[in-house]
């Protein structure tokens, strides 16, 4: 038997430790929670994607009475970014979530389906996406979806 270990690196930043560029993106994700439509869960998620040319695209979770028809903030954002700017790689994605008590102290992490979509966007542009997960106790920063989705299904598998 052979064995290998996969490690993930997460850096936790205090607000003052974030670069101005990262702070702006996190603020955009926080603002984006105002566009959330979450009457069923009461859980408002916002996301903001920075593109290579500096454009910031925001999105939020959009729920539906037929629950599975709704969509998470991350996918809403990435699909909008790619639909509107197909020639622009996504370089960073910030995510923020709040409930009735306000923004969460510990960040949420993207669901499995969103991780797969983030992976797809990285592959499409051959560009790692810096992921910023906001919590009031700190912002967790991950340099690529590799850390959140090890052993991901990639394009090249189709050629095997």
Question: Which residues are near ligand THU by CB under 6 A?
Answer: 38, 41, 43, 45, 61, 63, 70, 72-74, 108, 110-111, 114
The DSSP call for residue 5 is: -
d(CA 130, CA 104): 21
The DSSP call for residue 75 is: H
Pick between residue 111 and residue 154 the one whose CB is nearest to ligand THU: 111
| Residue 74 falls in the annotated catalytic set | yes
**E strand map for 40-82:** 44-51, 56-60
Pick between residue 110 and residue 157 the one whose CB is nearest to ligand THU: 110
d(CA 58, CA 108): 17
Shortest reach from residue 9's CB to ligand THU, in Å: 20
Shortest reach from residue 60's CB to ligand THU, in Å: 7
Catalytic residue (one of 17, 27, 63, 74): 74
Pick between residue 56 and residue 78 the one whose CB is nearest to ligand THU: 78
Report CA 80 to chain centroid distance, whole Å: 13
Catalytic residues: 74
């Amino acid at each position: 038997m052979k064995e290998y270990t996969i490690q993930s690196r997460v850096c936790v930043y205090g607000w003052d430790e974030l670069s101005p560029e990262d702070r702006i993106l996190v603020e955009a994700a926080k603002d984006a929670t105002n566009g959330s439509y979450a009457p069923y869960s009461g859980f408002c998620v916002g996301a903001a994607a920075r593109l290579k040319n500096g454009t910031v695209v925001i999105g939020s979770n959009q729920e539906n009475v037929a629950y599975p028809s709704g969509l998470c903030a991350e996918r809403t954002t990435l699909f909008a970014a790619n639909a509107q700017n197909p020639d622009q790689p996504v370089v960073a994605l910030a995510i923020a979530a709040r409930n009735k008590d306000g923004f969460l102290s510990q960040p949420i992490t993207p669901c499995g389906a969103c991780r797969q979509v983030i992976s797809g966007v990285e592959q499409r542009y051959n560009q790692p996406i810096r992921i910023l997960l906001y919590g009031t106790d700190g912002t967790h920063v991950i340099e690529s979806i590799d850390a959140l989705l090890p052993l991901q299904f990639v394009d090249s598998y189709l050629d095997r």
